Every structure is written in structure tokens, then in C-alpha cells.
Structure 1
Amino acid sequence: MKCFFHDTIKIPVGKATLEAVLTLPEGATSIVIFSLASSRSRYSRRYQKVAQQLQQRGFGTLLADLLTDEEDAAYYYTRTNIELLTRRLTGITEWLECYGPATHLSLGYFAAGTGAAAALKAAYYLPHIQAVVCQGGRPDMAEDLLPYIATPVLLIAGTLDADMLGHSRLAFEKLQCRKKLLEIKGAGQLFVENNAMTLIMESAANWFHHYLKVPDHQAS
């Protein structure tokens, strides 16, 4: 993979300044923004690997921190504050749309944890988001907006994680958009069993490949 842009950037959102790693392969026409409720998302080896696999398929990626270090220290409150996470994600998205190297590229979200609810809510507020993939997490925490989301959504859950599987099934029932629920047999909350992460990466890449299209003004 040849890359024409790779850098750590600082993104102002409200009173916070959030850090992110933006990578754009040559010829990329779309960017997948990661929605993770952490102050150190960009250092996660798990999600770095997911990002690298997407880059190999030609997608740009933005590994962004939705929280500051101070906010992350207040673990439970901030990581479950869906409205805060949603504001951060929409702010990052709007900033990215005006950022030189990323201007006019189509956008999707890859989410996990409570970041799943934030991604779904952000997709409601920003309907030009073309695809969302939620790896486990809490998509049900966006319950009030789920019936009104138009963006295609892929939900992924492991069959050994009864709680998360239940949350994903509940969200799937309420979604009225194009949707799919992938239940990975024998996988738990961390998806370390049965080569689950490889299946997740392949399924996510295929979902984005199908739904992330070059914007009309870009194609012309």
C-alpha cells in the first residue's frame, strides 16, 4: 500500500482538543472514522490492525480519540456519556470534511464499546455518513434514534457474549435501514476466539466497499 498522507493531527471540538491519526492511501475515495470512547484509541494495537487492513483495501482511516486524558480518568461517566461522545464524533467529522487532504471524500464509521451508540447517533445527525459498522458495544444506547437512521448498519456480536449479543439484537430490531447482524459463533466480548477479528475485518471491509461510494461532486 502506497500512502500519500499519514500524520497525527489535533482536532478542536468545542473546548477540547482531540488527537487522531489520519492515513490516506494513494487513490483513496473514502475515510473510515473510528468511534471509540477513549483518550488513547490511536495507540490500540487491536484497532491499529483493523485500520491497517482497511488501508490495504484502499480506505483512508482516522483513528481518533473521543476523550481527553482528563475525561478518560473519569472512566465510567465519560465513557457512558453518549451525548458527549456523539458531539465529539460529529465535531471530528465536520472538521475532517474541511481538512485539505480529506475534503470531498465519502465517510463511514467503525465503532466499538459505547462508541457504537455515538456512531449511530452521529449517523442520524449527519445523514451523509454512508455506512456504519459496530463491533459489539452498545448500539442499544442509541435506542431513541435507531428507527430513524437511514445509513446502512452492520452489527457484529459474539455468541459467547450474551449481554452484548442481546444489545445488538435489540438494536437490530429497532433499525429500519439497510442492516445486517453478524453473529460470530464461539466468540466472546474481545473477539479473540475462532479467528473472530479476521472475520470482523473482512466483513467490515466488505460492508464499506459496498456502501462507501464516491460523492457525486467528486465523481464528476
Structure 2
Amino acid sequence: MTEVHVPAGDVRLDGDLSEPARARGIVVFAHGSGSGRHSPRNRRVAASLAERGFGTLLFDLLTPEEELSDLRTAHLRFNVPLLAGRLGQVVTWLRREGCPTAAGCPVGLFGASTGAAAALVAAASCPDDVAAVVSRGGRPDLAAHALGAVRAPTLLIVGGRDLEVLSLNERSLDRMDPAGGHELTVVPGAGHLFEEPGALREVSRLAGEWFSANVRE
């Protein structure tokens, strides 16, 4: 894994890039509110994807200074336009110059919580650069204005005990184009953070199968 510093507008974002010798695709992770590239849940999913031959990029959506400010005010973690804009810039950087593996390589997005909203907005804004999206316990309702424009096949994964978020995901799926092949999958017995035994392993399996089917040349 290589530490990278990704230009995104007037800031540089810290990230960890993993490049298999012959990657079948690259999956970019967008973390949820109050989290970062060191999220143990996202790293477990990333490790599972690496076993399937995918490259991964986990990066911080905020700079260290912004993180400190957001801890006090929480004014950035729900700023979906800002987060989506940065995610789109990261995808552009990755495909154009970020790593040799990504040149011409399909890109998938994996978003958690508010990061899923950013991933959906970025996918709608960059339809030619994003091949598929997976949301874990996401808040697609925060991307309501963009849902109808998402062309990349999207898998919404929600815990069966996360009832409020499940309802938000169901309503969001109804707003997406049914021709896009989007799906909602419920992990029985899982809560919002998928901390129950076997829950995150199931998320990894579902994400791996979705990206394997949709992130390809």
C-alpha cells in the first residue's frame, strides 16, 4: 500500500493506494461522517476486494485542519456537494495520473453513511468515469437531487435492524432509474455499523460480487 497526496481543488487529500500487478478495476472508498481512511470497516472490505484482484484507494475527504474544525462544528461532514466534488476530482486524478494501473481501468465507488451520498452524486456527475457504486449503511436520501441521474449500477446494502436507514434507502431506490440495474440488499440482523458476527463479511462478499459483475472493461 502506497501513501498518496491527491490534489482536489485548492487542497491535497491524504490517501492509501493499493495496486495489484494486473488490477481488474480500482475501487475508491468514501467514508462516512466522523470517519476517515483508517476506518477498520472500510479497510476490511478493501482487503476482501484486493483478494479478488481489485486495486483500492482509501482517502480522507477532509484535510487534517478541516477534520479538527469539523470535530467542533460538524459543518463539513454533511456537506455533500463539497464531499462529492472532491470525490469526483479524486476519480479524475486517479484515472489520468494517479497510478499506471488506473489508466483506462474501470473505477467503482464504495461509500459508507454520508460517503455513500457523495459517491452517488459523483457517479451522477461523472457517468463516464464510474462503472459501479456500492453503499454500506448509506444515506442516499442526502443525494436525492442526483438519484435519477445515476447510471452506474448501484447496490444499496443496509442492516436489517437499521430500520430508519432502511426506510430511507427504500425510498431512494424508488427515485432511481429502474433500467439502471440498481438493487437494495438487506443483511439480516445487522445494525448500522455491521458490527454483528459475520455482518461485515457479508458486506464484503456482496460488494465483491457486485464490483466483479459491473467493474470491468
Same fold, TM-score > 0.5, yes or no: yes
Structure 1, gaps ≥5 residues long: 1-5, 215-220
Look up the equivalent residue of 1:202 and give its one-letter code. Answer: R
Query: How far off its partner does 1:23 sit?
Result: 0.5
Is residue 195 of structure 2 the alignment partner of residue 200 of structure 1?
A: no
Aligned to 1:191: 194
Aligned to 1:169: 170
Look up the equivalent residue of 1:162 and give its one-letter code. Answer: L
Aligned to 1:62: 57
Aligned to 1:3: none
Query: How far off its partner does 1:29 sit?
Result: 2.6
Once residues 37 and 121 of structure 2 are traced to their aligned partners in structure 1, the CA distance between those partners, rounded to angstroms, is: 22
* CA deviation profile, 1:95-122 (whole Å, cap 9, x unmatched): 1111242211110000001111110010
Aligned match of 2:48 in 26, 47, 53?
53
Aligned to 2:154: 153
Query: How far off its partner does 1:38 sit?
Result: 6.0
With a CA cutoff of 8 Å and minimum separation of 6, indicate the structure with the bigger relative contact order: 2
CA, structure 1 residues 157+40, in 2 after alignment: closer, same or farther (shift >3 Å)? closer
Query: How far off its partner does 1:68 sit?
Result: 1.1
Once residues 68 and 37 of structure 1 are traced to their aligned partners in structure 2, the CA distance between those partners, rounded to angstroms, is: 15
Once residues 29 and 159 of structure 1 are traced to their aligned partners in structure 2, the CA distance between those partners, rounded to angstroms, is: 31
Do the aligned residues in 1 keep the contact of 2:32 with 2:116 (CA within 8 Å)?
Answer: no
Once residues 104 and 82 of structure 1 are traced to their aligned partners in structure 2, the CA distance between those partners, rounded to angstroms, is: 27
Q: What TM-score, normalized to structure 1?
A: 0.91
* CA deviation profile, 1:28-71 (whole Å, cap 9, x unmatched): 13100001146862222221111111000000000011111222
Aligned match of 2:7 in 9, 12, 23?
12
Aligned to 1:85: 83
Stretch moving more, 44-53 or 115-124: 44-53
**Matched positions, count:** 209
Aligned to 2:20: 25
Aligned to 2:185: 182
Aligned to 1:218: none
Aligned 1:130-145 pairs, distance under 5 A = 130-145=131-146
Q: Secondary structure of 1:150's partner?
A: coil
Do the aligned residues in 1 keep the contact of 2:117 with 2:143 (CA within 8 Å)?
Answer: yes
CA RMSD of aligned residues (A): 1.4
Once residues 39 and 60 of structure 1 are traced to their aligned partners in structure 2, the CA distance between those partners, rounded to angstroms, is: 25
Aligned to 1:44: 39
Look up the equivalent residue of 2:137 and give its one-letter code. Answer: G
4+ residue runs of structure 1 moved beyond 3 angstroms? 37-40
Structure 2, gaps ≥5 residues long: none
The percentage of counterpart residues that share the same residue type is 38
